[in-house]
A and B are shown apart, each in its own frame.
Chain A
Amino acid sequence: MKALALIATLVTGVILLYGTMDFPAWGDPQSPASGTLSTHYIEKAVEETHVPNIVTAVLGDYRGYDTMFETVVIYCAGLVVISVLRRTKQKQPEKKA
């Protein structure tokens, strides 16, 4: 079972690493992120969302999916910790106590 988990982890890691090969080079001026998107956010964020803080506008609006699943991930982490650790006290019979 442990070997299976290790294999699954390794395979996932290799797939993720393989995915990074398609990323644009670090600081590439031709990449979409540094070309049109960043300038659009910086120039239009206040106009389009009326939020003076661009970070909040990107986090809550343009990148809403990301924030939503961040919240869901935290929620899942909490649920898992509760379900693994939380123990309900058994009602002990009086004579044993």
Chain B
Amino acid sequence: MKLLQERTQKQQIGQSLIIQTAVRQLVPFVQLFGLYVIVHGHYSPGGGFQGGVILGSSFVMLALAFDQSTSMRLMSERANVMLGNAGVLIFTGVAALCAIVGGLFLDYSALDAIIPLGPVEWRSFGIFLVEVGVGLAVMSIMISLFWDLSSAGEMDEGL
């Protein structure tokens, strides 16, 4: 068993040029598709949860093809946590803002008092704002779960 581990370390199994190049080409498209799924949730299957998972999976892919420090260089831990907090804050903030400007909690049509777009349009736009918040939160949590679990909390090597 030990011999096998040493041999795999020597040969650097898993560090494949083909996989690394493919992942490097693929990641921007995956992220673009994640954004598309989030913003196109009004018209097609999709929305914040699904798009957030796709966005997060692009960083998981980087961590698998290269190593964890590569993905942590491209998305720092601090920025990741801040994005996650911002996502949840956007959702609850929009909901609370509705109540502050005189409507019910989560009643987006009340936001018409700030920017007059019409109550019905605001309900559509409020859903969009909320979906963006959900997407950010889900992306950040996905990435942080993967980092923590794959490196057993050490945040250095990963899988």
A: number of interface residues (CB 8 Å): 30
CA distance A26 to B130 in the complex (A): 32
Tell me how far the C-beta of B102 lies from the nearest C-beta in chain A, rounded to whole angstroms: 17
Taking residues whose C-beta sits less than 8 angstroms from the other chain, chain B's interface range is 35 or more
Q: List residues of B whose CB falls within 8 A of some A CB.
A: 41-45, 47-49, 81, 84, 87-88, 91-92, 95, 106, 108, 120-121, 123-124, 126-127, 130-131, 133-134, 137-138, 140-141, 144-145, 148-149, 152-156
Which A residues touch B88, using CB under 8 A?
Answer: 71-72, 75
Tally inter-chain residue pairs, CB-CB below 8 A: 96
Interface of B is mostly: helix
Q: A78 near B47 (CB under 8 angstroms)?
A: no
Q: Is A14 an interface residue (CB 8 A)?
A: no
Q: Which of A26-80 contact B (CB under 8 A)?
A: 47-53, 55-57, 59-61, 64-65, 67-68, 70-72, 74-75, 77-78
